[in-house]
Structure 1
Amino acid sequence: MTDTTLDIIAIGNALVDVLSPTTDAFLAEEGLTAGAMQLIDATQATALYGRMGPGREISGGSAGNTVAGAAMMGARCAFIGQVAKDQLGEVFVHDLESQGIEFTVPAREADIPTGRCLILVSPGGERTMNTYLGAAQFLPPASVDEAQVASAKVLLLEGYLWDPAEPRAAMKAAIRMARKAGREVALGVSAVFCIMNHLEDFRALVNDGDIDILFANEEELLALTGEGDFEAAVAALAPKLPLLVATRGAEGATAVKNGERFHVAAEPVARVVDTTGAGDLFSAGYLVGHVQGRPVAECLTMGAIAAAEVISHFGARPEQDLKALIAARLG
């Protein structure tokens, strides 16, 4: 096995988030379900953007958020995703590279623009996400460099990107590369609709032993297993994985590693402002602890600290020094 120069390499949607406060009345007028995530086309994106209130643009994308948080905690990271040669594409790449995150995929011509996620944030912090994938859905398999994948301790796959054919082929190729190099593969299943669209694929990845670490929230866990409650879902899935990590919002998070179970409470938050990116940052904290060789309970705590920070403000990228927050808590 070759030495590693990266801790985490992630493949995901290269998106810029546009966040705007909303009301229940506006969601009802637009026919949107509060707290849901849906894919929209370019026409829908333009129309919804025109009706939203003033927004704030912040680089996002689930796996991109995770590596951004991980890099802030000192991890060596790379990201594989597709942007276009346009303003939002330049913003996305700059935000990653300014944190020292490797990004080598060439931008494509802007006939299809860089993807964006229109996020409507309710007063209680719940987010309703409307995603136009744009250029992100055309990530080619050739963008995955085998040497780069082999140089990372963990390959992280974003479930949202499993839908389009080209990125799905790219992720399958990356799994083969990581397996060949003896690296770990992590999967964030991302959302219930992703699971339902690709239930057999996701189950096959687990059953075939292609996934070492699986991240899911409670609803996603139920969808993936078909079970009716959390405990039954954990019991059904955990034996099939070296490591299962399940988040439950205010009820904390649970991990099962090689049959041993761990749990931590959620970190206290004075006020929940925006839950966008909570799961992404939890994964960041956990993975950083994991690649550092920390005990599972500490990894869970690191995830909880990172998630608590990001839900205390607008946007899915941390604003406080996560490394300092973790050092103050865990040393």
Structure 2
Amino acid sequence: MSVSSEIDVLVLGGAGVDTVVYVPELPLPYADSHMVPSIEARAGQTGDFVALGVHALGLRTHHLDLLGADHHGDLVRALHRERGVALTEVPQPAGTKRAVNLVSPDGRRLSLYDSTRGHDGDRLPPETVRALASVSRHVHVCITQPCAHALPVLRGTGATVSTDLHDWDGANAYHERFAYEADVVFLSTAALADPERTMRRIADRGRAGVVVATAGAEGAYQLLDGELTHIPPVAPPAPVVDSNGAGDAFAAGYLFGRLTGEPPARCGLFGAVAGAYACTVPATRADVVSREELLGATSP
């Protein structure tokens, strides 16, 4: 495989399809059946959204993951083709990853992931990972199982690394290899009893120079050089309809700031604006904030 140009952001993993179901409330009361406004499948899981996000902000982007030779894989391929995001796919015999997202009227989400779409032996080819990472400025690693085995390959490629631990509880050992191998670590405070303690443990035990914990409507927190600061929330530009993809959008906005040389506080502002925008987009659409919208919302 030959790569002809430099890549700003290489995204590993996280390609798949969500079936979005709008429900009257969460938790959903038990009943034999419920009438819902719509049930719609659309391409876009965490890696897809990060890739779309940084690409829309003008960064040269490449996405690498396993995909099945199935209808769901075709949806993912079409999404990347339509948005102009380069995609390298590895055959996935078990089929393309998929999930069902239950979305309540206030935008909260419950995701159900299909555990049959993969097996323990799944791998991203090391030679492919190395070739792409070696011509990339930065690699964002999703916490899917094949990406865990790709982490050692990234060492020595010259690329910085980020990851998103999502709603880690601070105890599950699976997440630790990602947390301690990344230069930039994103996570949510949702399942953390003591967010600051967890953030400091990540910084102390791993190589992260910055740890960012998103806290929904409360904004986010940034740990840098031992100092914890608050990133204020940003008012969404339209009514909140869905929180799906908000964390991915925050990561994309933050990475855009970091890779364009902005100071940490402004990187956090970019993340907050992108995350707020994502909350105004229905889960059935894979829309992300544009560079013009982001810079317009953050201009002095």
Give the alignment's TM-score, normalised by structure 1.
0.78
3-state SS of 2:63 partner: strand
Query: Is contact 1:239–1:258 with CA below 8 Å preserved after alignment?
Result: no
Q: How many residues were matched structurally?
A: 291
Which residues of 2 match residues 1-331 of structure 1 at below 5 A? 5-24=6-25, 27-29=28-30, 54-108=38-92, 112-135=94-117, 139-142=122-125, 144-159=128-143, 161-162=144-145, 167=146, 170-172=147-149, 174-192=150-168, 199-204=172-177, 206=179, 210-220=181-191, 222=192, 228-240=193-205, 241-269=208-236, 270-315=238-283, 319=287, 321-331=289-299
SS in 2 for 1:202: helix
Structure 2 unaligned runs (5+)? none
Supply the RMSD in Å over aligned alpha carbons.
2.9
Q: Distance in 2 between matches of 1:238 and 1:251?
A: 22
- Return 5+ residue gaps in structure 1 as ranges: 32-47, 223-227
Instruction: Judge conservation of contact 2:22–2:102 (CA < 8 Å) in 1.
Output: yes
Q: Is the 8 A contact 1:246 1:255 kept in 2?
A: yes
In structure 2, do the counterparts of structure 1 residues 26 and 234 end up closer, same or farther at CA, with 3 Å as the change threshold? closer
Matched residues in 1 for 2:285 and 2:262: separation? 24
CA distance in 2, matches of 1:154, 1:123: 37
Following the alignment from structure 1 to structure 2, what is the Cα–Cα distance between the partners of residues 139 and 102? 22
What residue in structure 2 maps to residue 43 of structure 1?
A: none
The structure that is helix-richer by fraction is 1
Paired residues of 2:11 and 2:139 also in contact (CA < 8 A): yes
Task: Give the match's secondary structure for 1:29.
Answer: coil
Q: In structure 2, what is the equivalent of residue 42 of structure 1? A: none
User: Deviation digits for residues 169-193 of structure 1, max 9, x if unmatched?
Assistant: x533x32232212221212113337
Superposed displacement of residue 73, structure 1: 0.7
Give the Cα separation in 2 of the matches to 1:118 and 1:13. Answer: 15
The offset of 1:11, in angstroms, is: 1.6
Q: Percent of pairs identical after alignment?
A: 23
CA distance in 1, matches of 2:125, 2:78: 22
Is the 8 Å Cα contact of residues 8 and 61 (structure 2) preserved in structure 1?
yes
